[in-house]
Structure 1
């Protein structure tokens, strides 16, 4: 089984402002340690995929940032979109590019670029099971995370615990998917976790290149037709103009809305690796290493009588006295101060 990793890194990053902005979205931001979210994702995938089979799809506007952060990457492994048209377009365009090199039964593993993952043994096991299921079932396979608490910042997947015809995959924690649920309110999140058949949606999914074609043809025929027409111009002088035309003509829609939530051909691997989606400052705080006063501090920061806070400085000294439960984020262009739980 040929395995391909695709990192989705083209979003504008409206969340985690002010460190994440339209010109410098969060996938290129440094929140922990020495690596950005993108470089951490790329380094993680090198443990499970050949370097020659790891690709990044992003906007052409971000090309210089990618090269700056990943100077050793082969530029042929950067798939550049002329405009943002959400994840359905990113995947459809990537599919026609990858099919120039790989056979239709090659398995594509699609990853967001802004997640934290640990417990690599469990992560590898989930990837292996998902790849096996994608081949045997000719289906879309998502990775779902068994929840540890009610969470309002993550989407959920409702799974069907009934047998589905493949005992071996069932015993490896593969389940058919009943529904996808958007981020719930607090009461609904409690009910989801108590029900036992709702798990967190990691946003990671796995499928054969041919399965991606089939699902797009069924549920997003506009994308399927437009990009198949584009594929006819690959390697010709007209390609760049046709690419521009294609992206201007299609309707922006996410792969989740356009395909996943409509398809009856989706399964889920129940997974136990440690996972987080960095969508809010509160989630950054939850995942961070804190000091003895339960503060997460980054940059040039001095604190006195400060508790349960996030304080991050990029360029200048921040001093805090007598505060608790606050978020203080300083960036080049703006400073955010708010209560935890109220961040944009």
Structure 2
């Protein structure tokens, strides 16, 4: 375990959960599931059996430093990696990879988003250990795949070579958020899984892949070797991010590399990417409605209603709607309108910063 490191990516603003998720406190810092723990804390807890606490790193925007420190108070300053600006997931992987390599060239990284939810955590840990063992003994870039339960158009899909005797399967293709008809074909074929965005690899392997496929990015972070774990680190990182292009690790590395493999997840998972995905996992009434707060619903089904306990929400004749009040914003829209949320947020910000 001493060579295992967990990198939690916690820099997003959670726009598809607006107005509950706001720029000053995004969804990863909220108790979305009502468990008494925020999504970030639940993610942290999930990996405590995988590596020691001192081997955790949280990659986040500099504006969220205090939130991370408040919610994970045992972390040292060296474990909170502050991005001056968002540059997508390739930079959020490269920065900790080069930093960990300086400390431990034999390190194996587990990279995970901060805002996903996992059920059957014992199975999750088993699957993860399978991937770690493979990453530790080979130059494989490994991702966890989730067996699809429906033709979901909001997730990426991974096609893999079917090898019944092998737990670590070679990846054929990645497809990002297909149309419904194609998603249905993927599910029916049986050789596609959802891309969970959880990655496992040795620092040596991912750095080699960065040099091969994202050379400019690799060169930028190589130059920080003397700065990592010193008081000059943040100054270096600020300059490095100013030079980085914005690109995802999926597009920049995983879709191009020839050494990409997948371990099939046998646990239950949701990326909690939208109100719709949260509705999927919440307890519903006999009309398929989720009510978080106080509401009276008449002839309404498949709705998600969320509001403060001192406000009564009354709705009639609605099907598949989201109705939510969060502080100074009331939102009423189709529950599956997640593609519109960036527009909602942009226009709300134009009305005044306090609405975003």
Output the TM-score relative to the length of structure 1: 0.91
Q: CA deviation at 1:88?
A: 1.0
Q: 5+ residue gaps in structure 2?
A: 342-356
1:289 corresponds, among 278, 283, 286, to 283
Q: Show the 5 A alignment for 1:1-344.
A: 2-33=3-34, 34-102=36-104, 104-161=105-162, 171-234=165-228, 238-299=232-293, 301-305=294-298, 306-314=300-308, 316-325=310-319, 326-343=321-338, 344=341
Aligned residues of 2:20 and 2:326 also touching (Cα < 8 A): yes
What is aligned with 2:351?
Answer: none
Which deviates the most, 110-119 or 92-101?
Answer: 92-101
- Between 108-117 and 51-60, report the one with greater CA deviation: 51-60
Determine the C-alpha separation between the residues in 1 that align with 2:241 and 2:315. 51
1:46 partner SS:
coil
Aligned equivalents of 1:83, 1:94: Cα separation in 2: 16
Q: 1:41 to 1:314 in 2, by over 3 A?
A: farther
Change (3 A) 1:185 1:101: same
Alpha-carbon spacing, 1:113–1:128, altered in 2? closer, same or farther (3 Å): same
The 8 Å contact of residues 78 and 229 in structure 2, kept in 1 or not, is answered as no
Q: CA deviation at 1:146?
A: 1.2
- CA separation of 1:135 and 1:331: change in aligned 2, threshold 3 A: same
- CA offset at residue 172 of structure 1? 4.6
Given the superposition, is the C-alpha separation of residues 324 and 9 from structure 1 closer, same or farther in structure 2, using an over 3 Å criterion?
Answer: same
> Where in structure 1 are there 5+ consecutive unaligned residues?
163-169
Q: CA deviation at 1:281?
A: 1.1
Distance in 1 (CA, whole Å) between partners of 2:229 and 2:274 is 42
How far off is 1:258 after superposition? 0.9
Q: What is the Cα deviation at residue 307 of structure 1? A: 3.5
How far does the alpha carbon of each residue in 1:10-68 deviate from its partner, in whole angstroms, 9 at most, with x for none? 12222212112333222122211122211111122224332222221111110011122
Instruction: Give the secondary structure class of the aligned counterpart of 2:44.
Output: helix
- Matched position secondary structure for 1:270: strand
How many residues align? The count is: 335
CA distance in structure 2 between the partners assigned to 1:303 and 1:273 by the alignment? 35
Provide TM-score, normalisation by structure 2.
0.88
4+ residue runs over 4 A deviation = 235-239
